[in-house]
Amino acid sequence: MKKMKWFASTVLAGAMIATLVVTAGCSQKETLNLYSWADNFDPDVIKDFEKKYDVTVNYAVFANNEDLLAKLKAGGSKYDVIQPSDYMVATMIQQDLLEPLNKDNIPNWNNISSHFKNLPYDKDNKYSIVYTSGVTGIAYNKKYVKGEITSWSDLWKPEFKDKVLLLDDMREVIGMGLKKNGFSNSSTNENEIKKSVDDIKQLLPSVLAFDTDNIKQKLIAEEGWIGTVWSGDAAYIAAQNPDIAYVIPKEGSTIFSDNYAIPKGAKNKDLAEKFINFMLDPEVSAKNYESIGYSDPNEKAKPFHSPEYQANKMINLSNDEFARTEWLMDVGKTLQVYDRYWTEIKSGRE
Amino acid sequence: MKKTKWLISPVVLWLSLFLILPMAIVVVISFLGRDEFGNLVIQFSLDNYARFFDSLYLGIYWDTIALSVLTTLICVLISYPLAYYIANAGPTRQKIWLLFITVPFWINFLIRTYAWVLLLRSQGVVNSFLMDIGIIDEPLKMLYTKGAVLLGMVYTFIPYMVLPIYVSLEQMDRKLLEAASDLGASRWRAFWHITLPQTKSGMMTGSVLVFVSTAGMYVVTDILGGSKSTMLSNIIQTQFLGARDWPFGAALSVIFAITSLVLIYLFNMALRSRHERSKEGRA
């Protein structure tokens, strides 16, 4: 009898979970499962796509590439379109997690500027198409920062004590140290890494905070005077606080991108390719990027963009600035070296 | 008794599915290896535990324990008088005070923590006020310091301390206090010999709750500490994400869980021996 009761309650609990799962997946229309960063699309553009193809777009968000990777490894067929960053595309290709793209279904691919085709992390664009890109530079407040900022080493100036903000990101911070010393931002040479980390430790007393998500607010509210900021965020900050200037340091910096890709085993590959093609339409992409304020790699979209958007130097970098940027590469085994140094930097211990 | 035993089966099922099973998986992973992409490699290895004994991680472990102990002590010092006051107030007042203690729980924890940022930052409410009335000329550096982290922890976990102490004060046998006063004991002496020993269990429960929660909290160190004071829980998070080293992260989680269990065991032992001693004393 006791066993029966046990059994009954187990079945009951199981039935409740099953009900939840079944009702969650219930819908007649075809569904595109989009998995991306928060606020990465103009909601109106998504609605236009839903109307045009009479489908439902299910937009789920992740907070970082590692979350995305973990979800895909746990069974990625839940999603049709994902948006990994550059180095993560390379990792996913190596791990055989991506479906090759059928370019015949994505003719609008040709609209992409040649700067953003055949990038080092996916040389023939077999698995990915760029969505947006940006660089890491220095944003500073002209009210407090006198003189021109041109180099990473300017952050080390003693007058910025307690006013420097750094991205809370291992590769960005150590990569900055590497760039300052003239090395590659993806160096796997332990001497180069050590030299750069020693440099960063000298900077620590000046650091107000490490922050990625809210570094914008810290600069807008003038808590910090100077810091490492992604170009898209810099555009946002400058719109809120007109004293903010932005520079890509002369030693060069990191360039990054978000991309479209289709995970292996996606249930709706056709619709996924339709979506990518739709988003690459010149008018659609102009509307989308004007709304989200990121850089638009779509060359054919230029005539549809507003003069303000085109004149914004933080969204549209010059060729000179692009020329001194470098993509982050997966550092393989050396990641452990980076991780240890990062723990030292963040904890102030050795 | 036997007939109603099946009532606990949902809880048993819940715990085994969502606590015991995941914990077992964490323990298993902590003995495995990883490849450079972070894929688990099936092998038996103690390396992940050996790595913990590096001075870097031991130092962070020590920082974590020190901050948690300090938070717990401050919480006791603030909460005890408050709980004592509430327990001795009239019934209506008690209800109002308890409401005040629990109201913060209705507001999202992140919002409450960001509210501290607005108060403490250099252009924040506190600094502007002090500068307006002329007490200071330059803003004080309050935010993104270890002090701000401690403040945030104490603020967050005070209710966890007040409520158990209040409950133990409520359940206390008040006749003993009357007896003490009849026998000529001062109020302070009665408090020291009767109230304090009888509310020890409440303090202990509160201390375990506060200690374990503080040690596992990493949001406060990020938001109020500017991510500059790393705790063990921050390292565990990094290992599972950026560093792609699940086995090491799992080993740290196991060490953390064992630390908490040992601590709870020690608290229980301390309580039990006190009970036994008091029984012996009576006999």
Q: Tell me the shortest Cα–Cα distance from B151 to chain A, in angstroms.
A: 17
Per the CB < 8 A criterion, the answer to whether A260 and A131 are in contact is yes
Please tell me which residue of chain B has the smallest CA distance to A332: B36
Is B63 in contact with A347 (Cβ distance < 8 A)? yes
Cα first-last separation, chain A: 61
Over residues B256-279, the mean pLDDT reads 78
Q: How far apart are CA A121 and CA A110, in angstroms?
A: 19
- pLDDT tens-digit map of B127-137: 999 999 999 99
Amino acid present at B243: A
Q: From B131, B148, B150, B147, select the one nearest B139 (Cα to Cα).
A: B131
- Note the pLDDT of residue A3: 45
Quick check: helix, strand or coil at residue B146? helix
Three-class DSSP labels, chain A: CHHHHHHHHHHHHHHHHHHHHHHHCCCCCCEEEEEECCCCCCHHHHHHHHHHHCCEEEEEECCCHHHHHHHHHCCHHHCCEECCEHHHHHHHHHCCCEECCCHHHCHHHHHECHHHCCCCCCCCCCCEEEEEEEEEEEEEECCCCCCCCCCHHHHHCHHHCCCEEECCCHHHHHHHHHHHCCCCCCCCCHHHHHHHHHHHHHHHHHEEEECCCCHHHHHHCCCCCEEEEEHHHHHHHHHHCCCEEEECCCCCEEEEEEEEEEECCCCCHHHHHHHHHHHCCHHHHHHHHHHHCCCCCEHHHHHHCCHHHHHCCCCCCCHHHHHCEEECCCCHHHHHHHHHHHHHHHHCCC
Please tell me which residue of chain B has the smallest CA distance to A346: B228
Q: Beta strand A128-141 with A244-247: parallel, antiparallel or unpaired?
A: antiparallel
Instruction: Indicate the pLDDT class of residue B275, thresholds 50, 70 and 90.
Output: low
Stretches in chain A below the pLDDT threshold 50: 1-5, 7-8, 11-12, 19, 21-23, 25-26
Is B241 in contact with A67 (Cβ distance < 8 A)? yes
Per the CB < 8 A criterion, the answer to whether B203 and A131 are in contact is no
Per the CB < 8 A criterion, the answer to whether B210 and B157 are in contact is yes
Chain A hits for B5, CB-CB cut-off 8 Å, are 2
| Element housing B228 (H / E) | none
Residue B156 has pLDDT above 50, yes or no: yes
* Nearest Cβ partner for A208 among B36, B226, B238: B226
Over residues B204-227, the mean pLDDT reads 92
Mutation target vs B (from A71, A141, A339; most B CBs, 10 A cutoff): A339
ipTM (interface pTM)? 0.88
Q: Is B1 on the interface with A (CB under 8 A)?
A: no
Q: Which of residues 85-144 of B touch A (CB under 8 A)?
A: 121-123, 141, 143-144
Is B56 in contact with A335 (Cβ distance < 8 A)? no
Q: How far apart are CA A111 and CA A303, in angstroms?
A: 13
Residue B1 has pLDDT above 70, yes or no: no
Is A210 in contact with B36 (Cβ distance < 8 A)? no
Is B55 in contact with A349 (Cβ distance < 8 A)? yes
Q: Which of residues 126-165 of A touch B (CB under 8 A)?
A: 162
- Note the pLDDT of residue A14: 53
Instruction: Indicate the pLDDT class of residue B3, thresholds 50, 70 and 90.
Output: confident
- Note the pLDDT of residue A75: 75
C-alpha distances in Å from residue B237, one per residue of A255, B42, B248: 26, 22, 11
DSSP B3: G
Q: Tell me the shortest Cα–Cα distance from B138 to chain A, in angstroms.
A: 13
Residue B2 has pLDDT above 70, yes or no: no
- Note the pLDDT of residue A332: 86
Q: How far apart are CA A197 and CA B55, in angstroms?
A: 18
- Note the pLDDT of residue A1: 40
**CATH class given for the domain over B51-282:** mainly alpha
Per the CB < 8 A criterion, the answer to whether A85 and A68 are in contact is no
* Nearest Cβ partner for A222 among B5, B123, B244: B123
The pTM of this model reads: 0.86
